[in-house]
Amino acid sequence: MQLLTVSPKGQVVIPSGIRERLGITPGSKVSVTADGNRVMISLERKVGVSDVMAGYGMLKYKGSPKKKSLLDVDVVDLMRESLKRTAKARP
């Protein structure tokens, strides 16, 4: 058993050894239940670790058609443009 500290926002960190053993990665879904004075956390859905190429094609790029690395593209500007287009398209 490990002793955890609750943050002012009510957050706790699942220790790395437990996360690794259960395969909990960022984006994994866990359920939280209470039984008396016990809090139980159960892994509901694992999410695989993604890589840079997993996001390929999600954003429109209007530059030259040659292959580019995400490091060569200003992703933040592309996301802002996408949000603007989405907002304009909404009724």
pLDDT tens digits, one per residue of 16-50: 999 999 888 888 899 999 999 999 999 988 776 66
pLDDT for position 38: 93
* Predicted local confidence at residue 13, as pLDDT: 94
86's tokens: 């989405």
For the chain, give every residue range classified as CATH 2.10.260.10. Answer: 1-49
The phi, psi pair for 60, rounded to 5°, reads: -80, 140
Mean pLDDT of 3-12: 93
The SS3 assignment for 24 reads coil
pLDDT level of residue 66 (50, 70, 90 thresholds):
low
How far is it, in rounded angstroms, from Cα 46 to Cα 30? 9
Please state whether the predicted TM-score (pTM) of the whole model is above 0.85: no
- The CATH class of 1-49 is mainly beta
Assign 19 to helix, strand or coil.
helix
Say which amino acid occupies 77: D
